[in-house]
């Protein structure tokens, strides 16, 4: 295991696991609406990158990419997320390269499945082209840094995901510092929700993501996960992007190919605290966790029989 950074303590009341949350309606574009009061949607991750942190280009070949998409859908994915540029530092990906990776992928998936399609990009030009060929969600890890991003989504009637990042995507951030990471992330996301509303995007189409491992130490990411119900207080559906992340490896010492169970545990805790969309590399495992948690959250309490 690497050297652990000091535990960060939030200056807020300790969150308590919630059995239910207020009614949560999620719209993914104009054609897909879900009541996620107890249900959790599972998003299957599809990388069109040769250097993603998890698969490291294993599905770069387009036929392999499509086979993975087939597997995600067969394993119960509710929606699919295509990314053409990884979040972390790496070789430059030009706008033309990202479009060449993303647009044909969205076209192929749209022809293949009747599922909502998200695109993980921080470029307004890329999301505009992707929405034009069948995507319906703009998943932006930059917190809407590109001023053309939200207008493009509003014009297309698309949904958006606002993610917290301290500096920006693809920029090294080895020593992140916050006065209070939970409050600062929540305030950042509250501002992004307001930006999306001002652009004309309805509340039901605005989602938020704490951005675990994006400009956070492992302990900060763990605290943000444990504090997920601080984000549900903003009244928007909460994304959880914990799958195979580095903070899980820091906790357990597990290599990146051995974080399956850690990811399941993170999904379960996030769902208990109100997260209602989980991004997953392992859709089969994520679907099972989500289904069990749905049953637990929906179960009516019954009195325990008196002891003799």
Q: What is the pLDDT of residue 58?
A: 75
Joined tokens for residue 306: 């008196």
Consecutive 10-residue runs of the chain (308 residues): their mean pLDDT? 35 42 85 93 93 67 95 98 84 93 97 97 97 98 96 98 89 90 98 98 97 95 97 94 94 91 97 96 98 88 52
Residue 180 lies in a domain: yes
In contact, 18 and 274? CB cutoff 8 Å: yes
Residue 16 lies in a domain: no
Joined tokens for residue 95: 């706008």
Residue 10 lies in a domain: no
Range of the domain at 204: 25-297
Q: What is the pLDDT of residue 202?
A: 96
Residue 5 lies in a domain: no
How would you classify the pairing of strands 33-35 and 25-27? antiparallel
Distance CA 124, CA 139 (A): 11
Task: Count up the domains in the chain and report the number.
Answer: 1
Rounded to whole angstroms, what are the CA distances from 76 to 80, 163, 289? 11, 25, 12
In contact, 208 and 177? CB cutoff 8 Å: no
Residue 194 lies in a domain: yes
Q: Residue 253, by phi and psi: left (phi above 0), alpha (psi -120 to 50) or beta?
A: left
Among candidates 143, 233, 236, 227, which has minimal Cα distance to 180? 227
Residue 9 lies in a domain: no
Residue 259 lies in a domain: yes
CB within 8 A of 132, min separation 6: which ones? 156
Residue 36 lies in a domain: yes
Which is it for the CA torsion 288, 293, 298, 304, positive or negative? positive
For residue 169, give the CATH number of its domain: 3.20.20.20
Element (H, E) at 186: helix 181-198
CB within 8 A of 280, min separation 6: which ones? 42, 43, 44, 45, 243, 263, 267, 286
Distance CA 278, CA 301 (A): 26
In contact, 80 and 114? CB cutoff 8 Å: no
Give the angle subtended at the CA of 56 by the CAs of 54 and 59, to the nearest 5°: 100
Distance CA 230, CA 222 (A): 14
Q: What is the pLDDT of residue 169?
A: 81
Q: What is the pLDDT of residue 54?
A: 58
């Amino acid at each position: 295991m690497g050297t652990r950074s000091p535990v960060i303590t939030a200056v807020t009341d300790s969150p308590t696991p919630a059995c239910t949350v207020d009614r949560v309606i999620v719209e993914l574009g104009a054609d897909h609406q879900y009541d996620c009061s107890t249900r959790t949607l599972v998003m299957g991750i599809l990388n069109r990158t040769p250097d993603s942190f998890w698969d490291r280009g294993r599905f770069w070949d387009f036929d392999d990419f499509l086979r993975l998409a087939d597997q995600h859908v067969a394993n119960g994915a509710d929606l699919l997320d295509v990314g053409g540029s990884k979040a972390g530092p790496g070789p430059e990906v030009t706008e033309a390269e990202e479009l060449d990776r993303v647009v044909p992928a969205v076209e192929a998936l749209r022809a293949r499945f009747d599922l909502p399609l998200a695109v993980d990009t921080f470029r307004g030009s890329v999301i505009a082209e992707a929405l034009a060929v069948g995507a319906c969600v703009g998943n932006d890890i930059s917190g809407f840094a590109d001023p053309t991003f939200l207008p493009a989504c509003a014009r297309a009637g698309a949904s958006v995901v606002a993610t917290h990042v301290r500096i920006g995507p693809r920029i090294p951030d080895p020593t992140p510092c916050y006065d209070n990471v939970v409050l600062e992330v929540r305030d950042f996301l509250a501002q992004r929700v307001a930006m999306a509303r001002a652009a004309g995007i309805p509340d039901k189409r605005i989602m938020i993501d704490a951005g675990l491992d994006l400009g956070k130490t492992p302990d900060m990411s763990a605290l943000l996960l444990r504090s997920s119900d601080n984000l549900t207080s903003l009244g928007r559906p909460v994304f959880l992007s914990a799958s195979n992340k580095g903070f899980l490896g820091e906790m357990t010492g597990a290599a990146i190919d051995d974080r399956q169970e850690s990811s399941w545990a993170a999904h379960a805790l996030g769902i208990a605290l109100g997260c209602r969309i989980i991004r997953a590399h392992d859709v089969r495992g994520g679907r099972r966790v989500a289904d069990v948690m749905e049953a637990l959250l929906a179960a009516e309490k019954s009195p325990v029989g008196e002891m003799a």
